[in-house]
Amino acid sequence: MLQIDESKLEEGAHVADRYRLDHVLGEGGMGVVWSATDERSGEIRALKFIRRDKCGDGRSVARLLREAHAASTVAHPNVARVFEVLELPEGTPFLVMEHLEGETLSSRLARKSIGPAEASRLVAAIAHGVRAAHALGIVHRDLKPDNVFILGDGTVKVIDFGIAKDLRTGADTDLTATGAMLGTLHYMAPEQVFGDVDVDERADVWALGVVLYECVAGRRPTEGSGSGQVLKAIMTGTFPTLVDAAPGCPEALSDLVREMLSRDRAERPTLDDVIDVLEGRPSQRPSRKPALASEVLPLRTPWTRRRVLLVGTAITFALGIAGAGAGIGLRDRGAAATATASATASIDPPTLSATSVSSLASASFASVSATAASSLPASASASASLTSPRASVSAKASSVPRLPPSAVTPGSAPTPPPSAPSVPPIATSRRM
């Protein structure tokens, strides 16, 4: 594929014998976005081009085309539109997109705080757009404030479907076959961190929970002094509840965020439930109150305390090796805040190496599991697996509202958890 001579993309230049380039709206690691005038209709559009140094990268082209497919498939007021895909004379594709004037949610958060009411409105609008994508089998996989655009009239648009996954076809191998796990660490669900191949729409629910928490509390629940601390928070769920982080927050909103950030994705609410709560309608989903800290066995047994210490040490050690070797590429959060008047200024989602994050973290758990199991009595070895970061819970069912499936008191038979309605699957359409 021939490369673009970026010097030819200049003010007043014409592309596709139709669009006149006016000025640059945004630029990132993968591409550059221009404001352009359609000389046939007089309408203003946003044109997204691949950067010259990325044109020979098949993954960058695949990402651009994936974004075009997803955004053009999802026709919804809360999703930025892609009108068509055209080619430059050299054969390089570019997108003709909806031109938006406003700012990203990340810019709004950097400028001023957002109260619970406004946060509920914004996240509900995001959820409406994402739910429309899910209904077509499309998972965004990179929801974050940088990829949410707020127009001057308050309308919310979800942008940048560059690493979306199509559940109907499972099409994402062109982005992940080389061992690269794409996403933004602070907003990634546990299953994304571990590189699970069956990541589905529930990963978007987790990311929306992080966004909602950030809007209300002014900080992300997964904040940490380094990548190791962020990973630890994601995998252990060791962050304060929203009502503790933002006193005065409605408890119903805090409960919703807690459920959205369930490490067990089967326990996360559907977007229907999320929208009901955010828009003030009673949800049909019963609240799942967490177990009291005094009823969680890891806080009472020497073995489980040692297990938490070993897991944390292993994660930190693995990330230290990864950082010294290949490193973990994360986009500077502040860079995206420079977006101007276009929904397409967030161009290149940061890339996380599956080797440095998923493989090393999984290997660390396996190593700790083997070491710990060898130090346990034979009778306890069966319950000492570290394959799940979920804490065991006491079998006192009368005092614990909901027990995770693995809740077993060592030395006793497992107590079955109370029955709960299953989460209905997202309806998908077979049309392309």
pLDDT digits (tens, 9 = 90+) for 52-103: 776 666 777 888 888 888 888 899 999 999 999 998 887 788 999 999 999 9
Confidence at residue 169, expressed as pLDDT on a 0 to 100 scale: 76
Mean pLDDT, residues 299-309 = 40
Confidence at residue 34, expressed as pLDDT on a 0 to 100 scale: 95
Residue 92 forms part of a structural domain: yes
Is residue 157 within 8 A of residue 343, CB to CB? The reply is yes
Q: How far apart are CA 323 and CA 290, in angstroms?
A: 35
pLDDT digits (tens, 9 = 90+) for 23-46: 999 887 778 899 999 999 999 999
Confidence at residue 87, expressed as pLDDT on a 0 to 100 scale: 87
Q: Give the strands of the sheet with 148-151, arranged side by side.
A: 102-104, 148-151, 156-158
pLDDT digits (tens, 9 = 90+) for 251-277: 999 999 999 999 999 999 999 999 999
pLDDT digits (tens, 9 = 90+) for 327-369: 433 344 343 333 443 444 444 444 444 444 444 444 444 443 4
State which amino acid sits at residue 407.
A
Q: How far apart are CA 309 and CA 314, in angstroms?
A: 9
Confidence at residue 19, expressed as pLDDT on a 0 to 100 scale: 95
Confidence at residue 26, expressed as pLDDT on a 0 to 100 scale: 85
Where does a domain end: 263, 278, 298? Answer: 298
Residues 207, 256, single domain; the answer is yes
Residues 78, 164, single domain; the answer is no
Confidence at residue 251, expressed as pLDDT on a 0 to 100 scale: 95
State which amino acid sits at residue 30.
M
Confidence at residue 106, expressed as pLDDT on a 0 to 100 scale: 95
Query: Does residue 142 surpass a pLDDT of 50?
Result: yes
Confidence at residue 91, expressed as pLDDT on a 0 to 100 scale: 79
Confidence at residue 329, expressed as pLDDT on a 0 to 100 scale: 39
Residues 145, 282, single domain; the answer is yes
**Confidence class for position 423, pLDDT limits 50, 70, 90:** very low
- The active-site residue out of 5, 17, 142, 146 is 142
Residue 24 forms part of a structural domain: yes
**Confidence class for position 286, pLDDT limits 50, 70, 90:** low
Domain of 186 in residue numbering reads as 102-298
- Specify the CATH number for the domain of residue 77: 3.30.200.20
Residue 18, C-beta contacts closer than 8 angstroms, at least 6 positions apart: 38, 39, 40
State which amino acid sits at residue 161.
F
DSSP string, 255-280: HHHHHHT-SSGGGSPPHHHHHHHHTT
Residue 129 forms part of a structural domain: yes
Residue 144 forms part of a structural domain: yes
Mean pLDDT, residues 181-193 = 86
Q: How far apart are CA 351 and CA 65, in angstroms?
A: 18
Q: What are phi and psi for residue 89, nearest 5 degrees? A: -55, -30
Query: Does residue 305 surpass a pLDDT of 70?
Result: no
Mean pLDDT, residues 232-238 = 88
Confidence at residue 323, expressed as pLDDT on a 0 to 100 scale: 47
Residues 237, 112, single domain; the answer is yes
**Confidence class for position 141, pLDDT limits 50, 70, 90:** very high
Confidence at residue 112, expressed as pLDDT on a 0 to 100 scale: 84
Residue 379 forms part of a structural domain: no
Residues 20, 120, single domain; the answer is no
Query: Does residue 302 surpass a pLDDT of 50?
Result: no
Query: Does residue 379 surpass a pLDDT of 90?
Result: no
Residue 366, C-beta contacts closer than 8 angstroms, at least 6 positions apart: 386
Mean pLDDT, residues 162-187 = 69
Q: How far apart are CA 54 and CA 238, in angstroms?
A: 39
Confidence at residue 28, expressed as pLDDT on a 0 to 100 scale: 75
Confidence at residue 68, expressed as pLDDT on a 0 to 100 scale: 86
Told to judge if 332 belongs to the known catalytic residues of this protein, a careful annotator would answer no
Report the sign of the C-alpha dihedral through residues 377, 380, 382, 385, in that order: negative
Is residue 305 within 8 A of residue 164, CB to CB? The reply is no
Please state the three-class secondary structure of 185-201 as a single string.
HHHCCHHHHCCCCCCCC
**Residues paired with residue 165 on neighbouring β-strands, in sequence order:** 139
